[in-house]
Amino acid sequence: MNAATVRHILDTIANMFPDAHCELNHSNAFELTIAVLLSAQCTDETVNKVTADLFQKYKTPEDYVSVPLEELEQDIRRIGLYRNKAKHIQNLCRILIEQYRGEVPSKHDELVLLPGVGRKTANVVVSNAFGVPAIAVDTHVERVSKRLGLVNWKDSVLEVEKKLMKRVPIDEWTITHHRLIFFGRYHCKAQSPKCQVCPLLDVCREGKKRMKTSQIRKDKERSSSALPKKIANE
């Protein structure tokens, strides 16, 4: 894909979602880290419902480790994999207390060593909490990037991240991450993408395929309905 096409994609998505942002509610780097950890295999909407009460009860890493694990599990029980996540949160908080004076580290290579924090979570935290350019690849970013041909179908999550970093200007990494998420969450959905009204249909290999398949189906239905009906007495 040439640079002009990439620019066209970025500008189009920017026009569609000029206010794209992190939809996980948080007020500091610590809350964001907890929220992103909870968001794995869970919707942001559900996470925000849970953290509305969670962040009122737990303000610091010390608060999370001062309660029994079972109590924290109950506080986040509406979240998928809540038992594992509760364990990760307490272990993460202990490390923050013991090694970082209760503060979330701002360096990516330190964040990924924390329990429950993978590369995607670390990218979200450094970019949104500390202003470090990064592209976090979640399910929406991966799906949209592959459909639009920004990356290859078989690329791993890490390969998707690296290719996007090469094709997107560094000062647009963070906002592009948000825009791709909004595009995937509200327009180019997994099951029902809005191909028929998509301004990027002309460069989308997945959209062209879907529209062609849809047209073939319509043609067959039209052809079938046009066949003469059998005479009742035949």
Do residues 26 and 54 lie in contact, with contact meaning Cβ atoms separated by under 8 Å?
no
Angle 12-14-18 from CA coordinates, rounded to 5°: 140
Q: Which residues contact 143 (CB under 8 A, 6 or more apart)?
A: 184, 188, 190
> Is 49 one of the annotated active-site residues of the chain?
no
Do residues 163 and 155 lie in contact, with contact meaning Cβ atoms separated by under 8 Å?
yes
> Is 154 one of the annotated active-site residues of the chain?
no
Q: Which is the catalytic residue, given 138, 154, 229, 230?
A: 138
Do residues 6 and 165 lie in contact, with contact meaning Cβ atoms separated by under 8 Å?
no
Grouping H, G, I as helix, E, B as strand and the rest as coil, residue 54 is helix
Q: Which is the catalytic residue, given 85, 120, 166, 209?
A: 120
Residue with tokens 């079938």: 224
Angle 180-182-188 from CA coordinates, rounded to 5°: 80
Q: Please give the positions annotated as active site.
A: 120, 138
